[in-house]
Amino acid sequence: MKELFSFLGFHLSFGASDSEELRKAHEEVRDKEAFLRDIISNLPVAVFCKDAQNGYRFILWNEMSEKMFGLTREQILGKNDYEFFPKDQADYFRRMDEKVMSQNSVVDIPEEPIDSKSLGKILLHTLKVPLRDVEGRPKYLLGISENITERKKVEQVKKEFISIVSHELRTPLTSIRGALGLIKGGAAGALPGQAHELVEIAHRNSERLVLLINDILDIEKIEAGKMDFKIKPAQLGPIIEQCVENNLAYADQYKVKFVYDPAAQDWKIDMDSDRLMQVLTNLLSNAAKFSPEGGSVDVAIKKNGAKIRVSVTDHGNGIPEQFREKIFQKFSQADSSDNRQKQGTGLGLSISKVIVEKMGGEIGFTTETGRGTTFFFEFPEWRDIKLKKMVAIPGKHRPRILVCEDDLDVAGLISEILKDAGLDCDLAHTARQAREFLRIKRYNAMTLDLNLPDLNGNDFLSELRSNRQMRSVPVVIVSSQTDADINPPRSESGMFGVVSSVEKPIDHDQFLVAIEQAVKLSLEGKGRILHIEDESDVTSVTSMILQDMGEIVTAATCKDAREKIQNETFDLVILDLQMPDGSGLDLLPILKQQGKKPVPIIVLTALIPPEDLSRKVDAVLLKSKTSNVEIINTIHSLLIKSKEDAKT
């Protein structure tokens, strides 16, 4: 200990001297030594030091080290790790010590498992620091260890809880949303007008519920900036009207009325409409909760300079002054003085702030004690050249083509050619519009002009190839540019590239041949699919969604799946992780052995997947977070690839 303090600059001995000056200096050094000893001894972390030039023997051991390791100062000072710990553990400590000293730099060990004589098996977070002499050479090793055992247990419990809740919520929601989507799309036949309207409301709100649940479960991801947004220009007025209507029943619980003038201007902003409705829902529900019975909540939209502001005002007691600074923090809740019980998670305003700011807006509030509170958000007004209404040719069970063309006359010509050929189509005049169509619909082929107003066509092709949901769509280039201008070059298979190209002015027959080739390639992406899933509702809905993709075979247990894999052949497997008789992961080895080449595997689960799972399978999709279109396109892409691999 004295050697260390001497090394740190405190010379503890001056020899015999009657000098008053030396005596005072001696006392000062002793005071400093006692001061440092008190600090080190009372730190809430283990602090130890080893003499690297003398067999890494301990020369410092504070009180927390005694408690954490179950070894007193008297036991350990002057000795090394091999005299107290098992050889394999002592070997590990020595390797890390030598690494610190040889590199002459700090080493951070986030998780270090050890066997403690007093606490048993514990997990430490350790920092090891080289202490250098006056010439810069490492001489001592300083260690600081924190016991993180309980913290890791809490994190594991939290992770398991989120996994359980995630599965129990996402699995039924997947079935509900999928079933409503099929009914809405006419899979069960035409619905009477009123029934269709009710299904529309149920489907719309199931989508909102899915978003809300995902945000609650993934609040940490939201803060990490991993929240997904689908932003496009849209009118604010209809969004507000719809949100107010959707929340009328909630306001009725508190005997409150929403007041909104629907005759607002048709102002547009760039937004993700689902996310913005989530913000509005949070603000409306808060305002209803904190309004007096029989009161009203005023919803307004107005111009604020170059921005559009939406405000929600209640006439309650206002926000207490001491709470105003933390109003947007997680799990923050303030009650008015009316003593009514307020329900909620305390996440709504925190989530709303993240959403608004991620979309490029601002959110805030004004409040006055006894008068009420106004929450508002505002965004820049969207302005763009007004385009003609997009064409949507009606039809059912016919191949559908997405036409991405900014020239309105050419787009109209292409749509007429496709219509005469018995095909359906949608028109997109920008890459942004095409991207949105591809997100929500399934296409058999796509035509693409290379000169788009918002993105170079070749860059858009690269984006399509890298996107799992979009890359299976065969592309026909329709452009005034030549084949040499297409980068990357076309692919013979159509996967991740261009099927063919047609130069402008368009030759009618040549264009139809190219479209026929693309559609044929798309329709060939069918096969025999094994769906391993114990929830019958999920398999029923998935079978209906994939009915045009080929034959769907189901297995509700691992045992049933093993028998089918051993006795039958499949082109693709959809796998759930949580099965009644084991984990779906147990089936991976046998799936990898099927046939001459491994069968493509898609994991479709409500659980939080292991981090390394994406390296073991072809795709990992989360229930409730993955749309029907994304499921179909992912399967189609893998089926085509599987058939191509089988030919080689």
Residue 15, pLDDT score:
47
Most confident of 140-149, 300-309, 471-480: 140-149
> Domains in the chain, ordered, with CATH?
43-147 (3.30.450.20), 232-380 (3.30.565.10), 400-523 (3.40.50.2300), 527-647 (3.40.50.2300)
Q: What is the separation, in whole angstroms, between the first and last Cα of the chain?
A: 72
Task: Give φ, ψ of 192 to 5 degrees.
Answer: -60, 160
| Contacts of range 106-115, beta carbons closer than 8 Å, 24 or more positions apart | 106/130, 111/148, 111/152, 112/145, 114/69, 114/85, 114/89, 115/85, 115/86, 115/89
- Residue 48 in this model has a pLDDT that exceeds 80: yes
CB atoms within 10 A of CB 117: 12
Lookup: tokens for 231 = 């932003």
- Residue 169 in this model has a pLDDT that exceeds 80: no
Residue 314, pLDDT score:
94
List the single range of 345-349, 424-428, 505-509, 527-531 with lowest mean pLDDT.
345-349
What is the distance between the alpha carbons of residues 35 and 493, in angstroms, rounded to a whole number?
76
For residues 217-239, average pLDDT: 72
- Residue 389 in this model has a pLDDT that exceeds 50: no
Residue 337, pLDDT score:
40
- Residue 345 in this model has a pLDDT that exceeds 60: no
Write out pLDDT tens, residues 292-318. Answer: 988 999 999 988 877 899 999 999 989
CB atoms within 10 A of CB 106: 11
Write out pLDDT tens, residues 607-648. Answer: 777 877 878 888 888 876 777 777 777 887 777 666 666 555
Please give the mean pLDDT across all residues of the chain.
79
Model confidence at 11, pLDDT cuts 50, 70, 90, reads very low
What is the distance between the alpha carbons of residues 551 and 530, in angstroms, rounded to a whole number?
9
Residue 202, pLDDT score:
87
Model confidence at 338, pLDDT cuts 50, 70, 90, reads very low
Write out pLDDT tens, residues 479-524. Answer: 765 444 454 434 333 333 577 778 777 877 778 888 887 887 676 6
Most confident of 25-29, 366-370, 484-488, 489-493: 366-370
For residues 522-540, average pLDDT: 81
Q: Give the CA distances from residue 162 to residues 9, 77, 321, 583, 605, in Å, rounded to whole numbers and listed in that order.
A: 52, 46, 34, 18, 14
For residues 321-335, average pLDDT: 73
